[in-house]
Amino acid sequence: MNDSRIKKTFDQCKKENRACFVAYLCAGDPDFETSIEACRTLIDSGIDILELGVPFSDPLADGATNQLAAQRALESGMDSERVFEFVKAIREFSAIPIVFYTYYNLVFSLGSQLYAERAKAAGVDALLTLDLPPEEAQEHLDACEEFNIETVFIVAPTTPESRLVKICEAASAFIYYVSREGVTGEQTNLSNNIESQVQLIKQYTHLPVVVGFGVSSSEHVKSIAAVADGVVVGSAIVNCVAENVTNSKEIITALRNKMKDLFEGNALEG
């Protein structure tokens, strides 16, 4: 997949001597139309990759912020079918790389092959399946390869070095390093060993390494951009929705302001 949208994006960011900005929102939070406009706002603000959370009733890797976002999306009527429609709606105005942040139950319930086929037809570029270990992912990997969908796998601070080979072999888009133990959510401080962990992962892959979980300020973005190929911001963006959930105009205003803050001072330059 040498000419993939994701690879082109990372190559362009490298050419511009900066990290790739990956922004997360839960698809359909708080409702379909507002969520589409929220995604449009992020894209217009200059993000490089859009990571869409697929609403799920038991999001075990997520903290309260993203759990509640998924709950709001589900209550508004989002389901697997609507999520694919959601991506098609974004594709009407943007060619930005889209990564699904999902759980294996949702893939398994449709079947790996049908899920990959539907995702590709909708315009999804890659699947990050949170709770699927690479050792058990062959059917999923085969389906993704068949339909030209890239894969993202996670490395945690607790991942033993002996597993890095398997994880890196399974991924084809990028490696997602979780900067701390536990679930998603905004944090005041970042871990102090991110650089050494990124360098360790790079010994086992030529793919880009992005860092996420807990990133909430331009200082965090700048710190990660100096040592990694990309930075992921999720809960800090989702909170813009949560704090203005009854007013769609306020959601958009809050998102614009948050993105200006996150990009402040050319924070992505490494």
Q: Which residues pair with 128 in a beta bridge?
A: 101, 152
| 3-class secondary structure, 213 | coil
Active-site residue, selected from the candidate residues 29, 48, 62, 186? 62
Pairwise CA distance, residues 25 & 269, whole Å? 23
159 burial via Cβ count (<10 Å: 0-12, 13-18, 19+): middle
Alpha-carbon gap, residue 197 to 158, rounded angstroms: 10
d(CA 164, CA 58): 27
- Asked whether the beta carbons of 19 and 225 are under 8 A apart, the reply is yes
Catalytic residue status for 117: no
How far is it, in rounded angstroms, from Cα 67 to Cα 119?
A: 23
Question: Which is the catalytic residue, given 29, 48, 51, 186?
Answer: 51
Look at strands 209-212 and 49-53 and give their pairing. Answer: unpaired
For this structure, is 33 an active site residue? Answer: no
Alpha helices in the chain (DSSP H): 5-15, 32-45, 64-75, 80-91, 104-110, 112-122, 138-146, 161-170, 194-202, 218-225, 235-242, 248-262
Burial 190-212 (b: 16+ CB within 10 A, else e): bbeebeebbebbbebbebbbbbb
Q: Using omega within 30 degrees of 0 as the cis cutoff, is the peptide bond preceding 133 cis? A: no
Instruction: Name the residues annotated as catalytic.
Output: 51, 62
